Amino acid sequence: MEEKKARLKPQAEIEVIPEGPIRIKGNIILSDVRRDIFESPEGEIYLCRCGRSKNKPYCDGSHEK
Ligand code: FES
């Protein structure tokens, strides 16, 4: 994995967490369906993919309930 990262030199890392959110680490621009722009605080965000978050597009931990 580390060798592949070094070769590809990605701008961001995206990790799908089993039974959880999608973690994105890196400098990105994220816009929702209304074209609202979200920043990635400290270069890392967790996006909800279960649909239960009350703070979409971010994960608020509701997937654990
Ligand atoms: S993935 Fe965490 S609240 Fe949806």
Q: Is the peptide bond before 41 cis (omega within 30 degrees of 0)?
A: no
pLDDT at 15: 96
Give Dmax over CA atoms of the chain in angstroms: 39
Ligand 1, atom nearest to 22 Cα: 1
Q: How far apart are CA 32 and CA 10, in angstroms?
A: 23
Q: How far apart are CA 65 and CA 62, in angstroms?
A: 6
- Does ligand 1 have an atom closer than 6 angstroms to the CB of 57? no
Give the bridge partners for 15, in sequence order.
23
Q: How far apart are CA 44 and CA 47, in angstroms?
A: 10
Give the bridge partners for 25, in sequence order.
13, 44
pLDDT at 40: 65
Q: What is the pTM of this model?
A: 0.77
- Given a cut of 80, whether residue 58 has pLDDT beyond it is yes
pLDDT tens-place string over residues 8-56: 777 889 999 999 999 999 888 788 777 777 766 668 899 999 999 999 8
- Given a cut of 80, whether residue 5 has pLDDT beyond it is no
